[in-house]
Structures are given as structure tokens and as C-alpha cells.
Chains A and B, each alone.
Chain A
Amino acid sequence: MDRLRLQSKPPSNDDFTTLPLYRSAPSFEVRLEDFELYAIDRLRVLKAISDGLSRGKKPEEMDKLVFDLWKANMRHPLASEVINKDIISHFVLRLVYCRTEDLRKWFLSMETALFRYRFQREAAEVQKALMAELDLPYKAVRTAEFESIKDKLGQVARSLGQSLPTAGDIIYKVPFEEVPELVAGRRVFIHKGHAYVAKNQVVSLVATRFRSLLSKALILTNRKWTSTIREDEKDRLTPIVEALCTSYLGPDYSQSKEFAEISIKDIDQVAKSSFPLCMRHLFEKLREDHHLKHGGRMQLGLFLKGVGLNLDDALTFWKAEFSRKVGSERFDKEYAYSIRHNYGREGKRTDYTPYSCQKIISSTPGVGDHHGCPYRHFSEENLRAALFRMGVNGSAVEDVMEKVRNRHYQLACTLTFEAIHGSTYDVGVNHPNQYFTDSQKIQKAKGHSSA
């Protein structure tokens, strides 16, 4: 009973390269312990990638990180087993992370990131083979066409600080939809619907395709999971699968558990003592302007929900502020809906979860917006002033600024936490609600010891 036949499909062509595309499930037998151990090893890699990305590591740093992680966790005493371990662990985690939208999203991002860094280290021939296998039949543009757009390509290359393209360079012409990430960053020349992708950018094209295939596969896996696997495997795989994801992703802070509820009358006080800077800033702006734009309402509103503000209190709280600016009638008409929506009482009826640091750091606040991560989005001057108002002084400010300069925004927030609470905080800040909960714990402990 401790052996498991995963699926009997013919082996894919994946075998001839060391970087598999995971197009079909493996057809060999796996020991049940390996099933779990391999998955945990891969999860370590994915988790560390996630941490690296959320700390704003640069591409070169990420490349090294992924390479080291892979070597440390995914080796196997038998050389022949290395590729099997890779494939098995991927498919096990697919099962683990197919079950909700959030899990799928996380897994998709991390697997794509992993694939991307591994792809970049492959030799040109292997890269070519992988492209063909992913049905990316793009041909390099011909010399005549190249000459006609050479100036524009040069302009793009220079805008990115790269060397100019020469006639021998391979440039692929692809529909712009195939390379959304290059379009978003204005890293390609786009003309009449076609993006001109340089050879060193091909990874983006490949990763996008990899991602979309995996995304579709995860939906299918989810269907299979809910319709058959969960029930069929309820004594064997299901417990392993369910344990695997909860133990590693951490809590989502959608419901505040430890401090059952906060009430409106305490909110000013706890905002001062236990809100992280991003939330404190939004809170103060709301009190000051009696208004926040959409991004700010979402970031603060969901945070407050996680802190334990119930729907009725949330409505009262937001209304008290907004009605001073837009009148209570307009509040009821235009804003109350979205607050109920956050609590899952309107629209799709999803109970939305508070934003994590990663999400907040990667947000893009615009003119008139106050959301985002202050450590990332404030100017140095404004950040210093804000830290001062929080009670961070002297060398602690310089330590924070140092982290900010190195783009370690969560570490900067962690240092702020330590300075304010006068205690070390080794776990580090990953979520504003975690900051809040741990701050409250420390405050309560202090209250007890002094009483």
C-alpha cells in the first residue's frame, strides 16, 4: 500500500532536456514517503522564491538564490532520480495548490518564476527545443525588416541601458499579447500589434506560455480533485495534500482570531499603538481629508476587517468620515456597497482577505492616492517625517533608511516595529495584520507586567 501509481500516460518528450515542461503526469511508481518529502523540498524552494521576490531582490540576486536553492533542496543521491523528483514534486504540489483561487495564483507565480530562472541558465540549443515544444513557432525577422526598424529597436535598447542591436542579432516578431510583461514594462518596440522581442527577452515569451498552460492545467486538476480524487484518496493522499498547504502558506488573516473584535471607540488608540505605517498613514489621511480613493479604501478597509472591525462598525466608521466630505446620502449610494462587498455581502460574495505586504509593495499608487507601502512609495523626506511621528528617532531612522535604499521594505518595517516596541522581532513583517497582532501581544504583555 505504500506504493502509488500516479497515472499511466505515455512518457513525454520532456526526458531529453533537464528542464521539464510538466505537460503530462509521470507514469512511474512513487513511494508514499517520497510523495510527501519531495513535495516539501520543492515547497521550500518556492517559499524562498516568494520571500526573495517580496523583499524586492534584483534579478541577478534572484538568479543566484534560485540556483542555490535548487541545488540544496532538489538533489537526489541517484542521478537518474533527479528528474523524477523534479516532476513528481511538481505534480504533487499541483494537487495541493489547485484547490482555491488564491492557492492557484501563488503556485502559478512561484512555479513560473522558478521556470524562468532555470530556463535562463539553459544552453541556447535547449532553449530552442523548449520553445518548439511550447508551440512558439516564431521566426526571426529578416534583414530587410530589421533594417527598417533598426532605429526604433536601438531606441528601446538604449532606454533600457543595453547595447545596440546589430544585423546579426535574432529578433522575434510576435503578437504583443504573447509578451504582456515586456509590453507592461515598455521593454519592447511595438508596431501595428507586433512586439519585437530580442533574444535575451525570449524567456518572457516562454514563461508567459508556460504560465498559461500551467494555469489551465491547474483548473483541470481542481475539477478532477473535487469530482474524484478527494473522495477516492480520502484515506491516503487527501490528508497529506491538505496538510501540505496549510503548514506552509501561513495564515491569511481574513478573520481576526486572537483579539476577537475591536470597537470604534478604541480604534484611534490602537491605530496609534499598533498599526503599521502604511495603515496608520491611511487612517490619518482619512481622518484629515474625510476621504480616501479606491486603492486606499481597499487597503485600509480589508486591514480593519482583519483587525476585527465588524461590518456594522465598519459602515459606521467609514460613514462618519465620508459623510463630512460627500454627505451621508452620497455615502450610502456610492460607497457603502463596496464596504459590504469587502465583507462578502455584495457581488460575488467572496470574503476578501486583507492585503499582504507583497501585494501592497507591488501596488502602483497614482496621483491622489495614499495606499501602497510607505517604505517603497514615500520620498525620503516624507518617510523620515512619518517615522518621526511614529516615535522612531536617531540611529534607528538611519537603519530603516539603509534598508529602504537596498529595497528591503519589509525589513525596514520590521526595524520600525522593533524601534517602537523596544524588542526584537525576528519573524519579520510579512503582513500588516501580523504586525498588528504581534504589536497587540507585546502591548498586552507590557500592560500586565506593569500592572
Chain B
Amino acid sequence: MAREEVENARDDMIIDGQMKGNGAFSNDFNPNLLKLYYGKLFPHADLFKWMSYGNDGKHPACDKSYFGRREFSFTLDNDIYVRFQSFYTLSELENSIKDKCPFKIDIGPVYSVDPAKRHAYAQSNDKVFTPVERELVFDIDITDYDDIRYCCSGADVCLDCWPLMTVAIKVVDTALRDDFGFNHILWVYSGRRGVHCWVCDAKARRLNNEQRAAIADYFRVYQGNENSNKKISLSGPVLHPFLARSYSEVLRDFFETKLLPCQQLFSDEERYEKILEMIPDESVTSELRGKWHSNKRSSNLKEDINCVRWEQLKHSLQSGKQKAQGLRRCVEEIVFSFTYPRLDMEVSKHMNHLLKAPFCIHPKTGRVCVPIDPIHCDEFDPTTVPTLSELFEELNRGGHKIDGIDEWDRTSLGESIRFFRSSFLQPLLKSCKEEMESSYTAKQRLANNSLSW
């Protein structure tokens, strides 16, 4: 109980992304603790292993320059932004992080040359300094759902609107695996109001901008902007298999059982009018409007008014009279408008977009950007993600350091790091090794052939 009160008090202080009052940071974030965090808890080695993709090994096919061509970017105290940092070894990376103590670490692409030395190459006209590899990334932000959530707005998020993120994870994750055939996918809580996704398969890292844009567009169903009534227009007599699967396996059920009652989508005139606007047929809307206007109070108390009205709406649109295909499609369009993932397209479309590294601490909330298990994403609760100060409480409570055990293992961060390793990093490195092996043998064979010839 006490914990909850603290939470609420802190939430009240955050207004439109800025802290009220004199204290520049929440109770859960301060630069001194951050320094300790980088010193004792941050998994530098895991980050290095990941970003090396097997090139840090002893295999003759390793590309020794690989990690050193990756851009890191630090946001320091006072919002000083330092781009194009690069490191050659784990200790260089680790020392720099510990030394500079960045409030935020962003990860960029792997370039053709060391990004720190890009100016040396700038003279030549050949555009030598160019991104060559980058994970396919997705950024989904709850603020983009402000027009359909009534519980919070802006950067705030609660357990009534967070499931929108869960649904986004399910839809996107399934498509990335089943449709696009990707296997090495990492979902990360952004620390405050959304989720990030890193697709790390070799094939994904080598996609060009056009191919990235194509994938982003595959996911896009939003067509309208602020000045069109319909945000979604699903054309054609049936849905594409991807949309049909998303609808029947995730969206419809989530809309009817969770979102409808949680967000009270039909509870008053203003709210249901917004939904009626999406129905182009005047006779249907006026009939429903009449029904809802007059029997405001008479509805059965046992049944949720939102669910009752939704059933009525569905009935009018899907009844025999409404043979017109467009009107039947309206039910799906409404569900999609309220539940379908809203991706920040620009982030996914270009190789050179930066994205915050996992395990960073969000400076506004103090929460760790922990991985989310897509299989159990329903259980993920952003309000219980450990904060910087909680981690150190746990560490202090646990007494002195025990030899041979990582410090993070004595905190609630342990679970996250173990998950990161077992579900993401180890399978990824295994497949990197296999790929390296097979491309090496192929090359060897080629070389042998040419010799004998």
C-alpha cells in the first residue's frame, strides 16, 4: 500500500514531460545513483556481445572492425548530445560509459568506416561514410493513442491503457516471425510510455531503406490525418491474411473484452459520437443515436453499457438489411482504429535512426528499460518495473557483495538480464556463429577451387 502512494505522488509531479517544482529529477533518478548503476549493475558485457554479433571471437571469418564501426550516442547532463562515438573493445565502451555517465545511450547503425573518424573520409566524393548495417527497429509510443484513451494523456500510462502496447507487441511480433521469418527479436520497455523492438537477424540488419519502408508500410493501416473522419480505411471485399489474422486472433477479442469496458468507449454522448462518425450511413447512425439517447438510464445494470451498445451497433451494421459491403466492414474499421498498433514509421524506415539502448535508465521515471517477453507480454506491468532507487535499496538490503555472483543477481534486475541472455542473446550468437562458419567454408571452398584450377 505504501508503495502505491509513493507512485501516485510521483506521477502527479510529471506534467507534459516536465518536472514541476525545483527538484530536477524524480525521487527515483539522480546522477549519483546513475554512476553507481553503471559501475555495478549495467550489463556492459552483454551489450558488447550483442552488438558484436560474433565478430569478437577468434574465428578467422570475424570482422575485427565490426563493433568499432557502430555509432553510439550519449546524452549527457544538461542535455548535451554527443553523437558518432565509437569503441573498439568492451573495456573502451565500459570505461567511457562509466566515465561520462550518460543520461541516455542511443545506438545507431554500423557504418562503412569508424564514425568517429568520418571527417577524415569526408574529403573524397565517393560517399564512403554511409550506414551499412542496422537492426530493423520499431518504436511504439502510447502518446500516439491519445485520441482513443480516456484514462491518461501525454506521457502518462496506467494499467487501463498499457494493454494497447501489449496488443501492439502481439500483432507486430507474430508478423515479424510468421510472415517475415525473423527469429531474433528483442522487445524493450522504453522506460516510460512505450516499447521498442529490435529485429537482429542478419537479413534484417542488411535491409536497405526501401525494404525497411516496405515492411513499415506492410504494417500501416492508418490513412487519415487529423482532418479526415476515418483514420482507417480497409478496402477490398476481404482482409489481407495478415490483417485478418491480427483481427481474429488479437484485436477483436481485446477490443470487446478489455478496451470497451476499460476505456468506457460508449459511456457518454461525446464518446459514442466519435464512433458513430466512422459510420457513413445516416440511417444507421440516427437509429442508434435515438436508441442511446432515450434509454440512457433504463439499461440493465448487470450488463456493461459499453458492451450493450457495441452489440447494438454491430447488429445494425451486420443485419440483413445492410448488405452493402462497406457497412459490414465498418465494424472491423472501428476495432482497427481503436486497437491496431500505431508505429512511428520514420524510425523503422531509415537505417540511420538512433534508438535508446536497453537497460538504460529513463531520466524522467528512473525506470530501467527492461526487455519484455513477447510470449508473456500480458503479464508485463510497467508500474512495477524496477527503478534506480529501488535497485539500490535491494542491493543495500542484500548486504555485502558475494564473490562469484554478479551484483545485479541480487536485485530485481537479475531476472531481466537472465531473460535477455537466455531468450535473446544466446540463440542470436549461436546463429551468428553458424552463419560465420558456413560463409567461411563457402569461401574456403571457392579459394580451393581456384587454386586447383
Contact = CB atoms under 8 A, between A and B. Distances in A.
A326 B222 CA distance: 27
B222 A366 contact: yes
B79 interface: yes
Given A367-B226, A369-B225, A190 B242 contact: yes
Interface string B424-447: 000000000000000000000000
Given A161-B237, A190-B242, A193-B180, A367 B215 contact: no
A128 interface: no
B17 A180 contact: no
A66 B91 CA distance: 61
Given A177-B211, A183-B217, A294 B346 contact: yes
Interface string A176-198: 11001101111001111110000
A155 B226 contact: no
B121 interface: no
B123 to A, nearest CB: 13
Given A180-B213, A183-B217, A192-B181, A370 B238 contact: no
A64 interface: no
Contacts of B182: 193
Interface stretch (B41-49, B166-174, B228-236): B228-236
Interface stretch (A40-48, A118-126, A371-379): A371-379
Contacts of B179: 190-192
A413 to B, nearest CB: 16
A372 B79 CA distance: 32
A191 B174 CA distance: 11
B205 to A, nearest CB: 12
B181 A159 contact: no
Interface in A246-292: 281
A186 to B, nearest CB: 4
A327 interface: yes
Secondary structure type dominating chain B contacts: loop
A83 B332 CA distance: 52
Contacts of B213: 180, 184
A314 to B, nearest CB: 20
A451 to B, nearest CB: 39
B227 A370 contact: yes
Contacts of A371: 225
A367 B222 contact: yes
Nearest to B236: A159
A367 B214 contact: no
Contacts of A156: 240-241
A152 interface: yes
A184 B223 CA distance: 14
By CB atoms of chain A within 10 A, which of B79, B147, B211, B229 has the most? Answer: B211
B303 interface: no
Nearest to B237: A158
A405 interface: no
Contacts, number: 116
B4 interface: no
A152 B215 CA distance: 19
Interface string B313-326: 00000000000000
A426 B417 CA distance: 66
B165 to A, nearest CB: 16
B345 A366 contact: yes
A274 B430 CA distance: 62
Interface string B239-269: 1111110000000000000000000000000
Interface in B93-152: 125-126, 144, 146-147
Contacts of A158: 236-238
A4 interface: no
A281 B218 CA distance: 29
Interface of B: 16-18, 79, 81, 125-126, 144, 146-147, 178-182, 203, 207, 210-211, 213-215, 217-218, 220, 222-231, 236-244, 342, 345-346
20 contacts: A155-B241, A177-B203, A177-B211, A180-B210, A184-B214, A190-B242, A191-B178, A193-B181, A193-B203, A281-B227, A337-B81, A366-B225, A367-B222, A367-B225, A368-B146, A369-B225, A377-B227, A377-B228, A379-B227, A381-B229
Interface of A: 152, 155-156, 158-161, 176-177, 180-181, 183-186, 189-194, 223, 226, 281, 294, 326-327, 330, 333, 337, 364-372, 374, 377-379, 381-383
Given A158-B236, A368-B146, 16 more contacts: A155-B238, A155-B240, A156-B240, A186-B218, A190-B180, A190-B218, A191-B178, A191-B179, A330-B17, A366-B222, A366-B225, A367-B144, A367-B147, A367-B222, A371-B225, A381-B229
Closest 7 CB pairs of A and B: A193-B181, A180-B214, A184-B217, A365-B225, A192-B181, A184-B214, A159-B236
